[in-house]
Structure 1
Amino acid sequence: MTVLKSLLLFAVAALFEIGGAWLVWQGVREHRGWIWMGLGVIALGAYGFVATLQPDANFGRILAAYGGVFVAGSLVWGMVMDGFRPDRWDVAGALVCLAGVAIIMYSPR
């Protein structure tokens, strides 16, 4: 159950961080305005809160592992929201990052 909870928290954190960054990007780069940027800042703050809910209490471990989730999640977000099509190297890199997440977070200690 702890691993499932951790995986769900990583997914929610990714939604908030990647979504927040995307909203800021849209507000600035696509000239959608302050409301988009403001919503992005709120989502980024929510990401910071969600990260604290991980069962492991080690900040460095959580943030390091989340980096791999961010890499893979960003590619998925780009596919869904912007029509980005990753190439085989993008996919391979994301899989390597997710393997790193699994080793960092879920190896026996």
Structure 2
Amino acid sequence: MLVVRSIALFVLAALCEIGGAWLVWQGVREHRGLIFAGAGVLALGVYGFVATLQPDAHFGRILAAYGGVFVAGSLLWGVVADGFRPDRYDLIGAGICLLGVVVIMYAPRGA
């Protein structure tokens, strides 16, 4: 059950961070204004709190693993929100990153 909770928190964190960064991008780069940028800043702040809810107590492990989730999630966000078409190397790289997440977070460890 802890693994399911952890995965759900990684997904929520990805939505907050990637969504927040996208909103800031839209506000600044696409000239959509301060409301978009401000909403993005708020979402990025929520991401910081969501990361603290992970069951593992090691900051470095959580953030390192989240990096892999961020890579794959960013590509997926680009597909959904911007019509980005990842090539096979994008997909292979994302798969490698997610494999790294599994090893970092869920490999059996001794006491």
Q: Same fold (TM over 0.5)?
A: yes
In structure 1, the partner of 2:17 is 17
The residue aligned with 2:72 is 72
TM-score computed with the length of structure 1 as normaliser: 1.00
**Following the alignment from structure 1 to structure 2, what is the Cα–Cα distance between the partners of residues 69 and 23?**
19
SS in 1 for 2:53: coil
Q: How many residues align?
A: 109
Give how far 1:44 is off: 0.1
In the alignment, what sits opposite 1:26?
A: 26
Structure 1 segment 89-100 matched on structure 2, within 5 A: 89-100=89-100
Counterpart CA distance in 1 for 2:29 and 2:39 is 15
Identity %: 75
Superposition TM-score, scaled by structure 2 size:
0.98
CA RMSD of aligned residues (A): 0.2
Moved over 2 A (4+): none
Say which SS state the counterpart of residue 56 (structure 1) adopts: coil
**Code of the aligned partner of 1:62:** I
Cα drift, residue 61 of structure 1: 0.1
What is the rounded CA distance, in whole Å, between the counterparts of 1:26 and 1:85 in structure 2? 19
Gaps of 5+ in 1: none
